[in-house]
Structures are given as C-alpha cells and as structure tokens.
A = this chain, B = another copy of it.
Amino acid sequence: MNLKQLAEQLGLSQTTVSRALNGYPEVSDATRRRVQEAAQRFNYRPNARARSLATGNSMIVGHVIPVSDRHEMVNPVFMDFIAGAGECYTRAGYDILLSVVTDDDEARTYRRLAKDGIVDGVIVHGPRHEDPRVPLLQSLGLPFVVHGRTLATDPAFSWLDIDNTRSFRRATGLLTDLGHRRIALLNGLEWMDFAQRRREGYLQGLADAGLTMRPELMHSDEMTEDFGHDVAARLLDGSEPPTAFLVSSCITALGVRRAVETRGMSVGRDVSIVTHDDDLSYLGNRGDVPSFTATRSSVRQAGRRCAEILLGLIASRQEDQPTPPVQELWESQLLVGRSTGPARDRAEGTT
C-alpha cells in the first residue's frame, strides 16, 4: 500500500493524505482522523527512500569505526557507545549506518556517505592527535561530532571528550601518594589523541611528585588483554620492576592482573593497578569497592550525548540556523577500588 493507493481509497488527494499524516495544520481534524485511521487499518507506512529523496534527509547517521590494520582489532567500547547513541536515535526516528573501515579507506568512506547523500551526519570515532578527517568533513559540509578531540581546537567543530590529561594526572597522584615511585604506563596507540593526553597527564603527575619519567616504563599499543599481560610480565620479571601500573583500558588491566597473579603476587598488596574504565556493560568493576581502582567515565552516556549533539546540528542545519559548535569536556570519576595499596618495593627491599 502506497500513498497513491491510500489516497484513492479515501477519495482524497495525495497532498492531503501526506499532510494529514505529517501533522501539517491545513487539514481539518475530521479528515486527519479519518486518514490516520485508514493508514492504521491498511498498515500503510511511507517508503523511507522516497521520502528521503523528496525531503533531502535520509534520517540516517553514520558511524565510521576504524579498525586497526595490524591486529584487525576493533575496540569493544564502540559497541557500548553505539548502544547509548542508539537510544537517542531511536527516539528521534533515526537509524545508524555503520562502516567498519581500515585507515586508508576512511576518507573515501566519509566522502561517499556525504556525497551520495546516504547519511545526514556522522560521528567520528577514535580521533588521532592530528586528524585529517576533521578538515575533510568540514569541507564536505556534513554535520559531525567527534567522540574525543584532536589537537587543533582552533577550527571550530563539535566534540565531546573526557579530560584525559587531568584524570591520568590525578590517577598518577593517587599512586605517588601511596608511595609508588616506579609506575608503568600502559597506554593506547600513541597516535590516538586520548593516548597522548593521558601520557601528558601521567607525566604531569610524575612531575608533581618530583619523579622523573623512565622511558622503559612507558608502553603503548592496542589495548588487548595480551598487551597488558606481556608487558607486565616482562617488567615484573625485570631487575627494577614497577610497583604500580597505570593502564588505559580494563581489558589491558585484566592482562596485567593475570601477569601479576601468575607470578604469585597479589594485586593491591604487592602491585597496584589503576585503569581507565569505560564502564562497559559486561565488564563489571561495580560495587561499593570495585575490584579495580579506576578513572571511570561511561562511554555509553557519552554515546547518548554525542547523538543528541549531532541531531541538534542536523536540525539546525535543516532550518538554516547555524549554531555554534558544541564542545564538552567531561570529568571522569576517580574510584578507589581493591587494586591499589601502599607501595611495596621489592627491588629496594623496603616494605
């Protein structure tokens, strides 16, 4: 059943039926009710493609997920982010178009989504420190929101980020306050913006305590469980093992814990761990005293908010009312759990 048929059934014009269903005022209440009732009865639903061709809006937003070339790893946080964003989209009648692409395909994908008119806007995931996607999207004129940030805050674009620097500085401070002097950093890939900011925070935290950075304690890679285990194992077996680990992801932290525990040591007593926690739905760490001391920020909530912002941008563009970009910097929560305790320095023989 399409609009034409429905209109014929009702003895009305397509115009009137369309207006009645879309809530335009120039239709009498009686007619509107009659139309709505008939639409229901015949199970009529407007064809989304035809509608979007006529209106110019596809009611679809794009999420372009980068997947690493090397390990083909796709960061599990995206799923939670999208789940959050999805709630918002669903309410507004939007759908998600997902593109999982390797780095070299990214620009091409954005161009395609924009120029073919497939989506009304996009969310940019996993921004690099200097990310060519921002100028690209600006030149394409497609509304977008970056989850995270890039170096250049100069060109005005919308983003939502957590204060990575500050939260890792505080986390480092928590460890130095406990007496830790050799703190390892297990970070994400170094060209990711968040990783650079976290390292910055870590370095500031060390400096705050008058400690000097040791390059051998700083590692960055994709945040897998293996990465955490392997690096921690190597460091713990070394001559001057760290007494604490500052980690960028719960998954990696689980790997660190594995390395600690298989060495007969205890997390929280012999070795401390602080991790960033995206509050993923399947990775607990809840409770009054979570098992990991963590800097927590819900990626799902970030997804919700990014979606809101994007829909706002899209709406304002449709109404030709340019709005200033939205930029939000969220504080993450520092939660003290069971994975931290006073430093026990094996290397120097102290307690």
Which residues of A pack against B, CB within 8 Å? Answer: 43, 45-50, 52-53, 58, 60, 63, 65, 67, 71-76, 78-80, 82-83, 86-87, 90, 95-101, 105, 112, 115-118, 222-226, 229, 251, 254-255, 257-258, 261, 280-286, 291, 300
Contacts and interface: CB of A to CB of B under 8 A. Distances in A.
Contacts of A229: 284, 291
Contacts of A46: 116
B117 A71 contact: no
A253 to B, nearest CB: 11
Contacts of A281: 71-74, 224
A79 B282 CA distance: 13
B95 A118 contact: yes
A48 B58 CA distance: 10
- Which among A43, A87, A98, A285 has the highest number of chain B CB atoms within 10 Å? A98
Most buried by B among A100, A255, A300: A100
B251 A282 contact: yes
A226 to B, nearest CB: 3
A318 B112 CA distance: 24
Given A52-B49, A117-B47, A100 B73 contact: no
Contacts of A79: 74, 76, 78-79
DSSP majority for the A interface?
mixed
Contacts of A90: 99, 101, 105
A282 B50 CA distance: 41
Given A224-B284, A226-B286, A117 B74 contact: no
Contacts of A63: 98
A90 to B, nearest CB: 7
Contact of A97 (B52, B87, B96, B101): B96
A87 B65 CA distance: 12
Contacts of A257: 258
A80 B86 contact: no
A4 to B, nearest CB: 14
Contacts of A223: 282
Contact of A96 (B83, B99, B115, B300): B99
7 contacts: A49-B58, A86-B100, A96-B98, A96-B99, A225-B285, A251-B282, A258-B291
Contact of A282 (B48, B75, B86, B87): B75
B48 A117 contact: yes
